[in-house]
Amino acid sequence: QQAPAPIPLLPLVKRIFDQVALEATDKQIAMTLEAPEADLRVRGTEDGLSNIFGNLMGNAVKYTPAGGKVTVHMALTGGQVLTSVSDTGIGIPEKDLPQLWQEFFRASNARASKIVGTGLGLSIVKRLVETFGGHIQVHSVEGQGTTFTVTLPQVEAPSA
């Protein structure tokens, strides 16, 4: 198991984005990455951070019908690195939001659809984000789309 260390987030997010974009293209979903070119470092492990953003981008494509959009946005505010993954997909019913982070929980509209899943991804994502000293928020409107925002403390890059 790797020890958490300062990791430049943009190259890692780009790598996951490019992988998921292949699936998205097959499904006719347009993916956009908006990020500053700054060297934004956060404390974490390569595996853990890849798992976080792989799950969130994977879910965005999975729960968005063909013709939709997925946008990944990165920003630095007040010493925090914000990474949001937004989609124009099926959304999450408001009544299901409180249970969203529980293991094996799946929203009613996802269960009613033909989209399969175990309901484990987000529970792992939340645990990892918190292990790295950050937090995660969700904003969703059923039938319109979902945004997950991961906030991680910025780690200063070593000065040359």
- Provide the binding-site residues for Mg ion, judged by CB under 5 A: 59, 121
User: Could you say which of 118, 158, 159, 160 contacts ligand ATP (CB under 6 A)?
Assistant: 118
Q: Of 109, 153, 102, give the one whose Cα is nearest residue 125.
A: 102
Determine the interface stretch with ligand ATP among 11-19, 27-35, 46-54, 119-127 (rule: CB under 6 A). Answer: 119-127
**CA–CA distances in Å: residue 114 to residues 1, 21, 63, 104, 117:** 36, 22, 10, 17, 10
Residue with tokens 């934004």: 40
Instruction: Report CA torsion sign: 43, 48, 52, 58.
Output: positive
Residues between 17 and 46 with contacts to ligand ATP, criterion CB under 6 A: none
User: Could you say which of 4, 54, 119, 133 contacts ligand ATP (CB under 6 A)?
Assistant: 119
Q: 69: how many CB neighbours lie within 10 A of its CB?
A: 16
The answer to whether 101 and 119 have CB atoms below 8 angstroms apart is no
Name, in order, each residue with C-beta under 8 angstroms of 81's C-beta and a sequence gap of 6 or more.
9, 40, 42, 74, 75, 151, 152, 153, 154
Nearer to ligand ATP, 23 or 43 (CB): 23
State the residue number with the nearest CB to ligand ATP. Answer: 117
Confirm or reject binding of residue 129 to ligand ATP (CB under 6 A).
no
Number of residues that bind ligand ATP (CB under 6 A): 20
Nearer to ligand ATP, 91 or 155 (CB): 91
* Both structure tokens of 28: 């006719």
Residues between 74 and 113 with contacts to ligand ATP, criterion CB under 6 A: 87, 89-92, 100, 106-107, 110
Binding interface with ligand ATP (CB under 6 A): 55, 59-60, 63, 87, 89-92, 100, 106-107, 110, 117-122, 146
